[in-house]
Chain A
């Protein structure tokens, strides 16, 4: 019994060490964006995928590349364009000739067959192409001509989209947005961060992340994260936050009633709870606290709120709605 207890505690400590190590390696390359990096790693260990939204040139691609290097995973990047076809992502069957000269169809793997995938400007591809990737994200496998091809763990997708250029784009449908564990807003760097970026990237020796973890370790500690227990009152707190984003719910906040057409799906609750477990371990706890739920609520819910016409017209930020939901959510704390 004591061994089991030590094992979990050891795993938890190892997870924290691994997480901080990867974080440190990324920090060698990526200037600032500490919260984004932490949330990306949370998504990675939580077994989800992350959607990054930010203007071009703020290091999104570099972040993903560096992450792949830090966790010693294969990395691929797909630049989404309107003419990108599903087969360009998942691969296709081609006629090939073997040594005996016999011809046969063989599956040519697409870029999705990697461990860390960057789907850059995902909203520029057609919905058909988008859905091909999103299916792979959900199933972590690809089926072509009746053959199912499993994707290699941890298969972590980081998609990006540009919030400014909406012309000629195909906004992701709500159902597909829901597949993303977190949606992170990548802000512009501060002055000091810009100076640091300049110093690091304008010299001969570019910084490079070292390997701090392995894909196996990442997969294993995904289990450690999910072992973290959560008390029912904390779960209830997370669920009540989620319910308050539903305009038809009794718990709906005023902003939700006015500006939200559909609230967050149950996947939002899953994302909040799993993300909170990661935060709990990082905080040295073996239980999830309401504070953990609050810390990941924005990332887990902001892309799951579907605004109504009035909300869109008035450009209501989902974060504002989530802020109100967090403020009004009933808590057990006396």
Chain B
């Protein structure tokens, strides 16, 4: 009977011990699980929203498993001994220290009467108590947290992915590639065009190469690349201005016809017409050699001298100015008249040097124009598709749409000027009276755009055969123009006056552009 009592007491204590372990583990899980589930839900939601959704499963599994492991570890660490389990059974089962006392009394191999009575009594009471009934698992209230965590985890699975970019927007990689392509084309065009040893030109080319490398490496944002191109453009324009060839170029329009009129200087004039100013300079230097070698006839020399005097007279008295052909032409006329080859050589050298300066300035301007065109192309590559589409249609878009990709604001007149390529103005100015103060952008735009726009206007004006056509043929005897001034002179004079007016008056940038482009368009070739 005593042995049976011992066995029952030990069984009861062990059952209580197991129950305590389960209770502690369950309690720890109910405490830890809500946190784990919430974290799992957050990870799953984030992954579904911004990721690929590959972490949803592992996050859910970890959210459930990690609290379980923590609970198990907690349960093991807090595993009660048999005696502690017995006291817990006594306390929760109302056994009043019977089992715990009996376990102690059982250590004696031969307990006396009172101890035996106590052991048997404790066993009787322990049999009447079930550990499962008295040692309950954690409060159901804590299970609410787990249920809430599970619900949150399930709800997180419904997280929609992030909205895709608007269909009209090109992927960033495409824009980047397009801009890079534009930049590369610009660099190759400039490399092919120029072999100028000028430091400014070479430095500009190096800057362009460096910019291309940075863009290719992704170290430079498209906006920064546009700004860098604008600076490069300014540097090239400054290089052209540094040569001080603007006045010389205007004078060349006056001088070239007279060179054309004289046999001795006609090759140089032909070279000027063809735009090969370097060759023109060589031809002018060669006049002195011909003169020295006797290959220049007196009539030709006199003819050339006369024309040069006229040209010098048209230019005016700007003797002593480094930026004028007048002194050289005057000196050349005197040398030709007097047959002084040395003086002619000196004058020819002076003219040649000035022609080379004009040639250099033209190269700078051409590079600047190409850079501006490249920058425009880069900006357009990054523009929104719908804006580009509207511009291609030639519609007079709103001023809001007229801004360039680099976001430099409205057009001056707020209407958007039509570009030759059908796009709205890309000018980087701030518009209005302060136009042209912006750091970037092409204040003049593409010089060919009026050609294109003119062509388009003509195209949309109507088709042949539509509507009444009235024609009339008048036959007159005709007469030559009574004007004795060459159109090139007129153009040159008025262009110079217009430039001067533009420089002095406060004229909006877009209007300046039209004036300047007007004279460029009517300038006769050569």
Q: Does A332 contact B114, Cβ atoms closer than 8 Å?
A: no
Tell me the nearest residue of chain B to A334, going by C-beta.
B88
Partner of B100, one of A233, A285, A291: A233
Question: A289 contacts which chain B residues (CB < 8 A)?
Answer: 90, 96-98, 101
- Judged by a CB distance under 8 angstroms, whether B104 is at the interface is yes
- Judged by a CB distance under 8 angstroms, whether A228 is at the interface is yes
Of A2-10, A108-116, A167-175, A195-203, the stretch lying at the interface with chain B is: A2-10
Q: Does A233 contact B87, Cβ atoms closer than 8 Å?
A: yes
Partner of B91, one of A229, A230, A334: A334
A4-B113 contact given A287-B122, A333-B90, CB 8 Å threshold: yes
Binary contact readout B483-522 vs A (1 if CB under 8 angstroms, 0 otherwise): 0000000000000000000000000000000000000000
Q: Does B121 contact A285, Cβ atoms closer than 8 Å?
A: yes
Q: How far, in Å, is A20 (CB) from chain B's closest CB?
A: 19
- Judged by a CB distance under 8 angstroms, whether B131 is at the interface is no
Q: How far, in Å, is B41 (CB) from chain A's closest CB?
A: 35
Q: Does B105 contact A7, Cβ atoms closer than 8 Å?
A: no
Q: How far, in Å, is B137 (CB) from chain A's closest CB?
A: 15
Question: A107 contacts which chain B residues (CB < 8 A)?
Answer: none
Q: How far, in Å, is A286 (CB) from chain B's closest CB?
A: 4
Question: A288 contacts which chain B residues (CB < 8 A)?
Answer: 97, 101
Q: How far, in Å, is B429 (CB) from chain A's closest CB?
A: 84
| A residues contacting the other copy or chain, number (CB 8 A) | 28
- Judged by a CB distance under 8 angstroms, whether B45 is at the interface is no
Q: Does A229 contact B100, Cβ atoms closer than 8 Å?
A: no
- Judged by a CB distance under 8 angstroms, whether A100 is at the interface is no
Q: Does A234 contact B97, Cβ atoms closer than 8 Å?
A: yes
Q: Does B84 contact A231, Cβ atoms closer than 8 Å?
A: no
Binary contact readout B426-448 vs A (1 if CB under 8 angstroms, 0 otherwise): 00000000000000000000000
Question: A291 contacts which chain B residues (CB < 8 A)?
Answer: 96-97
Binary contact readout B67-103 vs A (1 if CB under 8 angstroms, 0 otherwise): 0000000000000100110011011000011101110
Tell me the nearest residue of chain A to B108, going by C-beta.
A229
Question: A228 contacts which chain B residues (CB < 8 A)?
Answer: 114
- Judged by a CB distance under 8 angstroms, whether A35 is at the interface is no
Interface residues of A in 275-334 (CB under 8 A from B): 283, 285-292, 332-334
Q: Does B116 contact A4, Cβ atoms closer than 8 Å?
A: yes
Question: B115 contacts which chain A residues (CB < 8 A)?
Answer: 229
Q: How far, in Å, is B210 (CB) from chain A's closest CB?
A: 76
Q: Does B102 contact A287, Cβ atoms closer than 8 Å?
A: yes
Q: Does A332 contact B105, Cβ atoms closer than 8 Å?
A: no
Q: How far, in Å, is B94 (CB) from chain A's closest CB?
A: 10
Tell me the nearest residue of chain B to A332, going by C-beta.
B87
Q: How far, in Å, is B86 (CB) from chain A's closest CB?
A: 9
Q: Does A229 contact B101, Cβ atoms closer than 8 Å?
A: yes
- Judged by a CB distance under 8 angstroms, whether B220 is at the interface is no
Question: A148 contacts which chain B residues (CB < 8 A)?
Answer: none
CA–CA, A7 and B102, complex, Å: 19
Question: A232 contacts which chain B residues (CB < 8 A)?
Answer: 104
Tell me the nearest residue of chain A to B115, going by C-beta.
A229
- Judged by a CB distance under 8 angstroms, whether B117 is at the interface is yes
Q: How far, in Å, is A253 (CB) from chain B's closest CB?
A: 22
- Judged by a CB distance under 8 angstroms, whether B20 is at the interface is yes
- Judged by a CB distance under 8 angstroms, whether A272 is at the interface is no
Q: Does A290 contact B97, Cβ atoms closer than 8 Å?
A: yes
Q: How far, in Å, is A171 (CB) from chain B's closest CB?
A: 38
A231-B112 contact given A285-B121, A286-B117, A287-B122, CB 8 Å threshold: no
Q: Does A332 contact B100, Cβ atoms closer than 8 Å?
A: yes
A287-B101 contact given A229-B118, A233-B87, A333-B88, CB 8 Å threshold: yes
- Judged by a CB distance under 8 angstroms, whether B120 is at the interface is yes
- Judged by a CB distance under 8 angstroms, whether A164 is at the interface is no
Tell me the nearest residue of chain A to B104, going by C-beta.
A231
Question: B90 contacts which chain A residues (CB < 8 A)?
Answer: 289, 333
- Judged by a CB distance under 8 angstroms, whether A193 is at the interface is no
A285-B113 contact given A229-B105, A231-B101, CB 8 Å threshold: no
- Judged by a CB distance under 8 angstroms, whether A248 is at the interface is no
CA–CA, A4 and B96, complex, Å: 24
Binary contact readout B1-12 vs A (1 if CB under 8 angstroms, 0 otherwise): 100000000000
Q: How far, in Å, is B441 (CB) from chain A's closest CB?
A: 82
Q: Does A334 contact B87, Cβ atoms closer than 8 Å?
A: yes
Q: How far, in Å, is A8 (CB) from chain B's closest CB?
A: 4
Question: B83 contacts which chain A residues (CB < 8 A)?
Answer: 233, 332
CA–CA, A292 and B97, complex, Å: 10
CA–CA, A7 and B116, complex, Å: 11
Q: Does B91 contact A8, Cβ atoms closer than 8 Å?
A: no
Q: How far, in Å, is B171 (CB) from chain A's closest CB?
A: 65
Question: B20 contacts which chain A residues (CB < 8 A)?
Answer: 334
Question: A231 contacts which chain B residues (CB < 8 A)?
Answer: 97, 100-101, 104-105
Question: B1 contacts which chain A residues (CB < 8 A)?
Answer: 2
- Judged by a CB distance under 8 angstroms, whether A1 is at the interface is yes
Interface residues of A in 1-38 (CB under 8 A from B): 1-2, 4-5, 7-9, 12
Partner of B117, one of A9, A332, A333: A9
Question: B117 contacts which chain A residues (CB < 8 A)?
Answer: 5, 8-9, 12, 286
Q: Does B98 contact A287, Cβ atoms closer than 8 Å?
A: yes
Interface residues of A in 223-255 (CB under 8 A from B): 227-234
Question: A234 contacts which chain B residues (CB < 8 A)?
Answer: 97, 101
CA–CA, A288 and B122, complex, Å: 12
Partner of A286, one of B84, B100, B104, B118: B118
Q: Does A333 contact B91, Cβ atoms closer than 8 Å?
A: yes
CA–CA, A1 and B1, complex, Å: 11
Of residues A287, A290, A291, which shows the largest number of chain B Cβ atoms within 10 Å of its Cβ?
A287
CA–CA, A137 and B353, complex, Å: 143
Q: Does A332 contact B101, Cβ atoms closer than 8 Å?
A: no
Question: A229 contacts which chain B residues (CB < 8 A)?
Answer: 101, 105, 114-115, 118
Interface residues of B in 326-347 (CB under 8 A from A): none
Of residues A7, A12, A290, which shows the largest number of chain B Cβ atoms within 10 Å of its Cβ?
A290
Tell me the nearest residue of chain B to A233, going by C-beta.
B100
A8-B114 contact given A232-B104, A287-B102, A332-B87, CB 8 Å threshold: yes
Binary contact readout B47-84 vs A (1 if CB under 8 angstroms, 0 otherwise): 00000000000000000000000000000000010011
Tell me the nearest residue of chain A to B118, going by C-beta.
A286
CA–CA, A2 and B5, complex, Å: 14
Tell me the nearest residue of chain A to B88, going by C-beta.
A334
CA–CA, A234 and B105, complex, Å: 13
Q: Does B96 contact A285, Cβ atoms closer than 8 Å?
A: yes
Q: Does B104 contact A233, Cβ atoms closer than 8 Å?
A: yes
Q: Does B96 contact A283, Cβ atoms closer than 8 Å?
A: yes
Q: How far, in Å, is B7 (CB) from chain A's closest CB?
A: 17
CA–CA, A230 and B88, complex, Å: 18
Binary contact readout A147-165 vs B (1 if CB under 8 angstroms, 0 otherwise): 0000000000000000000
Partner of A333, one of B87, B114, B118, B121: B87
Binary contact readout B221-233 vs A (1 if CB under 8 angstroms, 0 otherwise): 0000000000000
CA–CA, A306 and B112, complex, Å: 40
Q: Which 6 A-B residue pairings sit nearest by Cβ, starting from the closest?
A: A333-B91, A231-B101, A286-B118, A289-B96, A4-B113, A289-B97
- Name 15 A/B residue pairs within 8 A (Cβ), A-sorted: A2-B1, A4-B112, A5-B117, A5-B120, A227-B114, A229-B114, A231-B105, A283-B96, A285-B96, A285-B118, A287-B98, A287-B101, A287-B121, A291-B97, A334-B87
Q: 20 more A-B contacts (CB under 8 A) besides A7-B113, A8-B117, A334-B87?
A: A5-B116, A5-B120, A8-B114, A8-B116, A227-B114, A229-B115, A231-B101, A233-B83, A233-B97, A233-B101, A233-B104, A285-B98, A286-B118, A287-B118, A287-B122, A289-B98, A291-B97, A333-B87, A334-B20, A334-B80
What residues make up the interface of A, taking CB atoms closer than 8 Å to B? 1-2, 4-5, 7-9, 12, 227-234, 283, 285-292, 332-334
